Copies of this chain bind each other. A is one copy, B any other.
Amino acid sequence: MPHVTIADIAGRLGISTAAVSYALNGRPGVSATTRQRVLDLVEELDWTPDSTARSLRSRRSMAVGMALSRDAEEIANEPFYSYVQAGIEQALAARGYSLMISRPGRRQAAELDVYRSWARQRRVDGVILFDLLADDPRTGLLEEVGLPFVEVTSEAAVDGAPRVLIDDAADAGTLVSHLADQGYRSIIHLSGPGQLTHERLRARAVAAVASAGGLEVVSSACRYTMEDGARGFLEAVGRVPRQPVGVVGSSDLLALGALRGAGLLGLPVPDRIGVVSWDESLPCRISNPPLTSLERRPITMGRLAADLLLDRLDGRARSLVRLPASGLTVRASSNRMAREIS
């Protein structure tokens, strides 16, 4: 008996497949005793609905897609995406959905092709978008091909797709205030690529908070690599007027780059240069000195995004879910006052 079907069950019980289906789906139209007999036999034969048949019928694949469009190196070095994946999968599994992962690589067009193909083949019921760009071509495409999606973003658009809202402005405040408290008198912000909406927002927020606190700010847009972080730091450090200088790295790699840059110049950390990272990671914990980092909640982000998407697929529309602001783990890289670190 390779695969049990409802026809088998109906046959054994001498009833119709419709009765079996009603019984299984808890619908009226079948007597309590029949229902129980069906359920018992299902249990005994260990029947599970065939997802392909069910999908064909219901027009639902019961799968959600996520395309990772950075290159393998970058994804592997950022625990962020791995945690997000864990959160998504956790939420999906709880509701019977599966997670489909694609890695189209850097090319924008390749990622769009993935969505097109998913939509036309009906392979996924919806997708989750990260790292939104200004005038992101993905949202338009997804609407065009009719693939529902949610965004994880720090841009609170009034209308548009449902979104998990990251409070990057509050996080910017946390980071800059900490640096100010530690006595740093200028701020360097090593931000990521400027096409990313959250990087623009972060840059604006860092600048706003810093100048509100009387600190001068120099910004430098970098690619997310340690090398570029070091380069950005070396460039920026010549342009800041007052030391000690606090550096905000928009990713752990950028913060590590700043650390390296400070080392090259022989500038002591945290005395003259303080460094904080927007992301937590193992490298942050083991670097020398260890890096003060934001505790974002990537697993929660993934979970919220997946739940939001599934709610939307179920017709329960929620347009926005707010992720609480991140905490801060203070480590030696910015602990200029040498307070005890608990």
Q: Which residues of A contact B (CB under 8 A)?
A: 2-3, 46-53, 55-56, 61, 63, 72, 75-77, 79, 81-83, 85-86, 89-90, 93, 98-103, 117, 120-123, 146, 226, 253, 256, 281-283, 286-288, 299
Please report the C-alpha to C-alpha distance between residue A287 and residue B290 in the assembled complex, in whole angstroms: 11
Complex contact B103–A89 (CB within 8 A):
yes
Complex contact A52–B122 (CB within 8 A):
yes
Complex contact B76–A76 (CB within 8 A):
no
Closest chain B residue to A86, Cβ basis: B72
**Which of the residues B46, B93, B286 comes within 8 Å of A286, measured between beta carbons?**
B286
A-B contact pairs, 8 of them (CB 8 A): A51-B121, A55-B56, A76-B79, A77-B79, A86-B103, A98-B123, A99-B102, A100-B100
Closest chain B residue to A146, Cβ basis: B2
| Majority secondary structure, A binding face | helix
Closest chain B residue to A63, Cβ basis: B100
* Given A46-B120, A102-B98, A288-B288, CB of A82 within 8 Å of CB of B75: yes
Which A-B residue pairs are the 5 nearest by beta carbons? A76-B79, A76-B82, A48-B120, A52-B55, A51-B121
**Which of the residues B51, B99, B286 comes within 8 Å of A101, measured between beta carbons?**
B99
Min C-beta distance of A113 to chain B, whole Å: 10
- Across-interface contacts of A282 in B (CB, < 8 A): 77, 253, 283
Min C-beta distance of A287 to chain B, whole Å: 6
Closest chain B residue to A104, Cβ basis: B93
Min C-beta distance of A296 to chain B, whole Å: 13
- Across-interface contacts of A72 in B (CB, < 8 A): 82-83, 86, 299
- Across-interface contacts of A51 in B (CB, < 8 A): 61, 121-123
Closest chain B residue to A114, Cβ basis: B93
Min C-beta distance of A305 to chain B, whole Å: 15
Which of A83, A93, A98, A253 is the most central at the interface, judged by chain B CB atoms within 10 Å of its CB? A98
Please report the C-alpha to C-alpha distance between residue A127 and residue B120 in the assembled complex, in whole angstroms: 25
Closest chain B residue to A287, Cβ basis: B286
Please report the C-alpha to C-alpha distance between residue A299 and residue B122 in the assembled complex, in whole angstroms: 28
Please report the C-alpha to C-alpha distance between residue A48 and residue B123 in the assembled complex, in whole angstroms: 11
**Which of the residues B56, B82, B100, B103 comes within 8 Å of A52, measured between beta carbons?**
B56
- Across-interface contacts of A93 in B (CB, < 8 A): 102-103
Complex contact B102–A100 (CB within 8 A):
no
Complex contact A85–B103 (CB within 8 A):
yes
Please report the C-alpha to C-alpha distance between residue A68 and residue B251 in the assembled complex, in whole angstroms: 26
- Across-interface contacts of A103 in B (CB, < 8 A): 85-86, 89-90, 93
Closest chain B residue to A226, Cβ basis: B286
Min C-beta distance of A122 to chain B, whole Å: 5
- Across-interface contacts of A2 in B (CB, < 8 A): 146
- Across-interface contacts of A288 in B (CB, < 8 A): 288
Closest chain B residue to A53, Cβ basis: B56
Please report the C-alpha to C-alpha distance between residue A85 and residue B100 in the assembled complex, in whole angstroms: 12
**Which of the residues B48, B75, B121 comes within 8 Å of A117, measured between beta carbons?**
B48
- Across-interface contacts of A146 in B (CB, < 8 A): 2
